[in-house]
Amino acid sequence: MKSTILTLLFVAFTFLSFSQETSYGVRGGLNISNLDFEPDATFNNQHRNGFAFGGFVDLGITETFSTMIEFQYSAEGGKADDLRADYIQMPIMARFTLADKFTVGVGPMVSLKTWKDQDAFSTFTFSGIGGIEYMINDELFVDARIHYGLSNILNEDISGDLEAQNTTFQFGFGIKI
């Protein structure tokens, strides 16, 4: 785990040294998330509305390609109190400019749980992330993203054969500083 994070940080700093244009900013958003259980849950599993906020650095490699590294807090999981999953997350997205104001991005995301009372959840989770961004002007933007869990978020020592992945739709807004 440590080697993965260190490798990702090394790659990010390498891109920084070659970047054409670097921008920084803050971003917030609304989450609609749910847990997908395998085998299917025998209890009522409703989606959770939450929020996300954080900061980012967007490293321009060429005029149409950049890498964005972000640190964010995100309230996810299910609606029931014992299914809430709050994280500090680090998405790293390869971003491609499609038109003057539209950008799409894809990449991995690592998450660290932020609550200590929920021993049933794993400390680290991995997700895939994809999204689209629309620039309103040179500084303001809106975006939509999806995070799809690639790892079991449940602690296998406690949950037994039950597995769960977190899926989150995120609608955000931000400003480049």
Determine the pLDDT at residue 159. 60
User: DSSP code of 40?
Assistant: P
Q: What is the pLDDT of residue 9?
A: 59
Burial status of residue 38 (CB atoms within 10 A of its CB: 0-12, 13-18, 19 or more): exposed
Measure CA 169 to chain center. 10
Give the CATH number for residue 116: 2.40.160.20
Write the CB contacts of 43 (distance below 8 Å, at least 6 apart in sequence). Answer: 80
Number of domains in the chain: 1
- Domain of 74? 2-176
Compute the distance between CA of residue 38 and CA of residue 36 in angstroms, rounded to an integer: 7
Mean pLDDT, consecutive 10-residue stretches, the chain (177 aa), reads 62 57 94 85 79 95 93 89 86 94 96 74 88 96 95 72 87 96
What is the SS3 assignment for 20? Answer: coil
pLDDT value at position 140? 97
Per-residue pLDDT, 8: 59
Please report the pLDDT score of residue 47 as a whole number. Answer: 86
Cα-Cα end-to-end distance for the chain = 32
Report whether 50 contacts 74 (CB < 8 A): yes
C-alpha span between 175 and 25 (Å, rounded): 6
pLDDT at 92: 96
